[in-house]
Amino acid sequence: MAEQTNWQQVQAGMDILLPPLVDYLVRELKTAYGDKWLSRLQEECADLHLSLAGDETSFRRSLDLQRSLKLFDRLWNNIFRSKFPINYRNWCKELQTSRNETAHKSTEDCSQEYADRALDTMARFCQGFDADGAARLSAMVRAIRYGSSNGSTAVKEFVAESKGPLNKKDRVEVLGQADSGLPSWREVIQPHPDVANGTYRNAEFAADLAQVASGTASIEYQDPVEFFARTYVTSGMRKLLVEALKRVTGQGGEPVIQLKTAFGGGKTHSMLALYHLLGGKVQADDLPNVRETLIEAGVSALPRAHVAVLVGTALDPASTKRPNDQPGITINTLWGEMAAQLVKSAGNPKLYDFIKEADKKGTSPGSEALAKLFDACGPCLILVDELVAYARKIGDKTNLPAGSFENLLSFVQELTEAARRSKYALVAVSIPESNIEIGEEFGQRAQKSIENVFKRMDAIWQPVAAQEGFEVVRRRLFLDCKDPAARDRVCKAFHKLYAENENDFPFKAKEADYLGRLTACYPIHPEVFDRLYEEWSTLETFQRTRGVLRLMAEVIHELWMNNDGSTMIMPGTIPMDAPSVRNELIRYLGDAWNAVFTQDTDGKGSVPYQLDRKMPRYGQSMAARRVARTVMLGSAPTVRTQQNRGISEVAVHLGTVQPGENITVFSDALHTLRGTLTYLYANNFDRYWYDTKPNLRKTMQERARSYEEQAVEAEIKRRLERLRQGVKASGLAAVHVCPDSSADVPDEQAVRLVILSPKSTCVSMTDTTQATNDAMVLLCTRGSAQRLYRNMLVFLAADAGTLPALKEGVRDALAWRSIYDEREGLNLDPEQVREARLNQDTSSRTVEDRLMETYRWLLTPSVDPSNPRQTRWEGSPIDGGSESILTRIVAKLKREEKLIDRWAPKPLQMELDTRLWKEKDALSVKELWAMLSSYCYLPRLREFSVLEQAIREGVAGNFFALASGLEGGRYQNLRLGDPVMTVYPTDLLVKPEVALVNMDPEPRPGPNEPTTVDPTPQPTPEPSPTPEPKGPNRFFLAKQLDNTRANRDVSEIISEIVSNLQNEKGCRIEITLEIHANVPNQFSEGTIRTVKENCRTLKVQTAGFERV
Model confidence band, residue 782 (pLDDT cutoffs 50, 70, 90): very high
Per-residue burial over 849-878, b if 16 or more Cβ lie within 10 Å, else e, is ebbbbbbbbbbbbebeeeeeeebebebeeb
pLDDT at 845: 92
Model confidence band, residue 484 (pLDDT cutoffs 50, 70, 90): very high
My answer on whether 129 and 65 are in the same domain is yes
Is residue 159 in some structural domain?
no
pLDDT one-digit tens code per residue, 720-757: 998 888 787 788 889 999 999 999 999 999 999 999 99
Which one is predicted more confidently, 460 or 1? Answer: 460
My answer on whether 115 and 140 are in the same domain is yes
Strands (E) across 91-225 are located at none
Mean pLDDT of 1025-1041: 64
Which one is predicted more confidently, 634 or 681? Answer: 634
Is residue 750 in some structural domain?
yes
pLDDT at 156: 56
pLDDT one-digit tens code per residue, 98-115: 999 998 888 888 988 899
Is residue 194 in some structural domain?
no
pLDDT at 327: 82
User: Would you say 373 and 236 are in contact if contact means Cβ atoms under 8 Å apart?
Assistant: no
Is residue 1030 in some structural domain?
no
First and final C-alpha spacing in the chain: 66
My answer on whether 533 and 669 are in the same domain is yes
Of the three residues 846, 871, 895, the one that is the final residue of a domain is 895
Is residue 191 in some structural domain?
no
815 burial level (CB within 10 Å; 0-12, 13-18, 19+):
buried
My answer on whether 917 and 1054 are in the same domain is no
User: Would you say 342 and 379 are in contact if contact means Cβ atoms under 8 Å apart?
Assistant: no
My answer on whether 946 and 1054 are in the same domain is no
Which of 100-114, 627-641, 998-1012: highest mean pLDDT? 100-114
My answer on whether 326 and 354 are in the same domain is yes
Mean pLDDT of 883-903: 89
Of the three residues 652, 674, 692, the one that is the final residue of a domain is 692
| Statement: residue 1005 has pLDDT above 60 | no
Residues sharing a CB contact under 8 Å with residue 530, sequence separation 6 or more, in sequence order:
none
> What is the total residue count of the chain?
1108
pLDDT one-digit tens code per residue, 44-70: 776 776 666 567 888 888 888 998 999
Helix (H) or strand (E) holding 967: strand 965-967
My answer on whether 18 and 91 are in the same domain is yes
DSSP 109: P
Of the three residues 999, 1034, 1054, the one that is the final residue of a domain is 999
My answer on whether 639 and 592 are in the same domain is yes
My answer on whether 256 and 355 are in the same domain is yes
pLDDT at 545: 76
| Statement: residue 1025 has pLDDT above 80 | no
Mean pLDDT of 959-986: 88
Percentage of the chain modeled with pLDDT above 70: 86
Is residue 200 in some structural domain?
no
My answer on whether 686 and 802 are in the same domain is no
| Statement: residue 338 has pLDDT above 90 | yes
Residues sharing a CB contact under 8 Å with residue 816, sequence separation 6 or more, in sequence order:
700, 836, 839, 840, 843, 844
Overall pTM > 0.75 = no
Is residue 1015 in some structural domain?
no
pLDDT one-digit tens code per residue, 215-267: 888 878 888 888 888 787 888 888 889 989 999 998 888 899 888 754 445 77
User: Would you say 404 and 397 are in contact if contact means Cβ atoms under 8 Å apart?
Assistant: yes
Is residue 106 in some structural domain?
yes
| Statement: residue 650 has pLDDT above 90 | yes
How many helices (H) and strands (E) the chain has is answered by 48, 21
My answer on whether 453 and 499 are in the same domain is no
My answer on whether 844 and 773 are in the same domain is yes
Determine which of 163-167, 369-373, 434-438, 597-601 has the lowest per-residue pLDDT on average. Answer: 163-167
pLDDT at 262: 47
Instruction: Provide the CA 29 distance to its chain's centre, in angstroms.
Output: 48
Model confidence band, residue 696 (pLDDT cutoffs 50, 70, 90): confident
Range of the domain at 966: 905-999
Which of 209-223, 410-424, 636-650: highest mean pLDDT? 410-424
**In the chain, how many domains are there?**
6
